[in-house]
Chain A
Amino acid sequence: MRDNSNLKVLHLEIQDLLAGYVDDSLSETEKYIVEVHLAGCQACRMDVERQQQLSRRLNHLTHARLPAHLQQKLDRSPEQPTPMSGKRTRQDSWRALLNGFKSRFQIMPIITLSGWVVAMVLMLVLLPPLKPSDHQHTVPMVAQVLAEYQSAGTSGQFNRHSKVEVNAPASWPDARVLASWETSIGGAPATAYAVRSGNQIVFQYAVTEKVFFRNPVVRMKVAKEGRYQAKEEGLMVVALPVKKAGLLIVGPEKAIPEIRSISL
């Protein structure tokens, strides 16, 4: 590296590895080479820092909801040619509103009808009358489960069918699974469980690892303390890492069990 032009070539080559360095996707050897170079190259050090900041910021973009009319089209038999967009009728728009509400759940339940009835009745009876507020929690997946939990008791938009025995990912002494269904959290498939905890209802969501660790604040908290938790309007969300996935427990603060009494 005495030679200036050699250094320059190295610098150009290293530049192409910096994303891998930021994303921790380099081999040990590559990583070593990059780190040695970084020690002596301020431009590359700054580049790394900016890439990290950029990546973090982009991770936080808000997601658009799937338009209800599109949802409807996709629900139809996939073979049927659907009219292309652009010519939308007025009727579509009110139907869109209606479906927007329903489609928030995309529910394909896999557990008992009676379980659901119990869950819904308990939700109505036990929950304080909540106004479905627009959750603006900074962690999108947390905002979503809070909103789902709150509207579950009032919407009753659940279809039910076959009967399956199900264990929820987390259990604690007075917990009993009432129902389970497939849903979507953070844009990825998730499984939800309604669990009776004492005389309250708690929801559990098994979400993908990717969704779970998407938010840097959650990542950091989980790395440091083994879990992330948030409280809002008397409700509490606890986020716990489980094998190859993440678990979100949401419910009234008092109904959320002590961490040490939870078995995963």
Chain B
Amino acid sequence: MNFFRRKKQRQQNFQQVTAPWRERLYNVALRQTRTSTRAEDWVQETFMRAWQDFDDLADPQAVYAWLLKILDHVIADDIRKEARRQQIAPLISTEEIFLQEQHSSYQGPFEQLLQQQTDQQLIKAIQSLPEDFGKVILLRDIEGLSYQELSRILDVPEGTIMSRLSRGRRLLSNILNRSDRQGSFPQTDKRTKGIYK
């Protein structure tokens, strides 16, 4: 097989393996930004990098997790660039904030409150979480990935995934409760500044 045929073959393989995941990946990107054009740029960049690293994909079964990991890096790079541009102070470690326990004081029917929230409101609430927490909730509760997959994508041990998820869901419940009483999400929270645009 000559060079061009081989290249063409590789491209076909790439498209065949990755194309079915485009929409889902786009949705994951979309849930981490407020502007859809930015999500589109992230997705494009992700597939470009995926193409460059296509030979590294050892297990075609794990292609979605692989793509998510690349997307995660793309987003992190983009946000870092943006933060440098805008001179935003570095984020406070999420661990510091949660040394004290965070329990929801809400006693009412949480289920009912959840049903009243639109998808948009829920996404907004997740976006207002510190990045580490928002991500695990996105990948676990919305995308339905396993702890093992999350651990591989985010490069942290499964135990950390579990504790972040525990804290994240708790925090999210609190935010939803608060917003229910106040009618809006906390916008001035310095933790979340610059994480999600």
Contact = CB atoms under 8 A, between A and B. Distances in A.
Contact of A49 (B14, B110, B147): B110
B162 A64 contact: no
B20 interface: yes
Contacts of A59: 141-142, 144
B48 interface: yes
B23 A184 contact: yes
Contact of B64 (A11, A84, A188): A188
Interface in A68-85: 70-71, 73-75, 77-79, 81-82, 84-85
A241 to B, nearest CB: 16
A55 B27 contact: no
B188 interface: no
Interface in A92-107: 106
Interface string A40-57: 000100110111011101
A70 B43 contact: yes
Interface secondary structure of A, over-half rule: mixed
Interface secondary structure of B, over-half rule: helix
Contact of B104 (A50, A71, A73, A183): A50
A214 B141 CA distance: 10
A214 B144 contact: yes
A32 B32 CA distance: 36
A78 B48 contact: yes
Given A85-B41, A187-B23, A77 B169 contact: no
Contact of A187 (B27, B117, B169): B27
Interface residues of A, number: 53
B51 A61 contact: no
A17 B162 contact: yes
A66 B26 contact: yes
A61 B122 contact: yes
Interface of A: 11-12, 15-20, 23, 25, 43, 46-47, 49-51, 53-55, 57-59, 61-67, 70-71, 73-75, 77-79, 81-82, 84-86, 106, 108, 182-184, 187-190, 210, 214
27 contacts: A16-B163, A16-B166, A17-B166, A19-B162, A20-B165, A20-B166, A23-B140, A25-B147, A25-B162, A47-B103, A54-B169, A54-B173, A57-B115, A61-B119, A63-B24, A64-B23, A66-B23, A70-B40, A74-B44, A78-B11, A78-B14, A78-B51, A79-B51, A85-B44, A182-B20, A188-B21, A188-B64
